[in-house]
Chain A
Amino acid sequence: AQSVTQLDSQVPVFEEAPVELRCNYSSSVSVYLFWYVQYPNQGLQLLLKYLSGSTLVKGINGFEAEFNKSQTSFHLRKPSVHISDTAEYFCAVSQRTGNQFYFGTGTSLTVIP
């Protein structure tokens, strides 16, 4: 079975500052990794995904994430956040066979003006 740990439940950060949201996973098999964003009162939207290839993945809205196999991590970063980035961020993992997703508990990012 897979599990996903998002170490920070809440992250406040000032506007235009950099941010890193941490995600670690446990799995005995190869996985695919995802970050989703949930704006208030909305559904989840895919930010980026790692399937294979380059370990640095770029997504929408200036976000990027780096897959680190040895540390089983997939941290999300943005060099300069905006007020509009305030949202809940979910890390997810799925096995390469089968299509069941396992989500982390989410990180609430609050951008302070």
Chain B
Amino acid sequence: DTAVSQTPKYLVTQMGNDKSIKCEQNLGHDTMYWYKQDSKKFLKIMFSYNNKELIINETVPNRFSPKSPDKAHLNLHINSLELGDSAVYFCASGLAAYNEQFFGPGTRLTVL
């Protein structure tokens, strides 16, 4: 029933590891997003995909690579994790024509 789901909910890992966060939406939306929320709650967009094509790619390290196998999924892969990557990562989806975004529950990433 969940509209936008993310797995895992919590991710604790060591510096230097590679990890992935998965996102799925069952709303039939054509656009999906990844946001990073830091410890001060500031939300910053990282990527946006429309119909599996990258349309927004903010200045993030190239260690972060989004992958969209189909319109309902947008996964985030992070290489060589660093301490500063610790944050809550939110996936969102929406219809470009309606300018509204629906958020997933978030993935809390802790890099030790």
Task: Point out the residues of chain B lying under 8 angstroms from A108, CB to CB.
Answer: 41
- Assess whether B112 is interfacial by the CB under 8 Å rule: no
Q: Which of A44, A100, A106 contacts B90 (CB 8 A)?
A: A44
Q: How far is the CA of A103 from the CA of B71 in the complex (A)?
A: 24
Task: Point out the residues of chain A lying under 8 angstroms from B106, CB to CB.
Answer: 41-43
Shortest distance between the CB of B101 and any CB in chain A (Å): 6
Interchain CB contact under 8 A, A105 and B41: yes
Mark each residue of chain A from 52 to 96: 1 if its CB lies under 8 Å from any CB of chain B, else 0: 000000000000000000000000000000000000101000101
Q: How far is the CA of A108 from the CA of B103 in the complex (A)?
A: 19
Q: How far is the CA of A44 from the CA of B3 in the complex (A)?
A: 13
Interchain CB contact under 8 A, A100 and B43: no
**Could you tell me the dominant secondary structure of chain A's interface residues?**
strand
Given contacts A99-B48, A100-B56, A101-B45, contact A46 B40 (CB under 8 A): no
Task: Point out the residues of chain B lying under 8 angstroms from A90, CB to CB.
Answer: 43
Task: Point out the residues of chain B lying under 8 angstroms from A101, CB to CB.
Answer: 33, 45, 101
- Assess whether A3 is interfacial by the CB under 8 Å rule: no
Interchain CB contact under 8 A, A105 and B100: no
| Interface residues of A, Cβ cutoff 8 Å to B | 32, 34, 36, 38, 41-46, 49, 51, 88, 90, 94, 96, 99-101, 103, 105-106, 108
**Top 9 A-B pairs, shortest CB-CB distance:** A43-B103, A44-B103, A103-B43, A43-B105, A106-B41, A99-B96, A32-B99, A43-B106, A94-B99
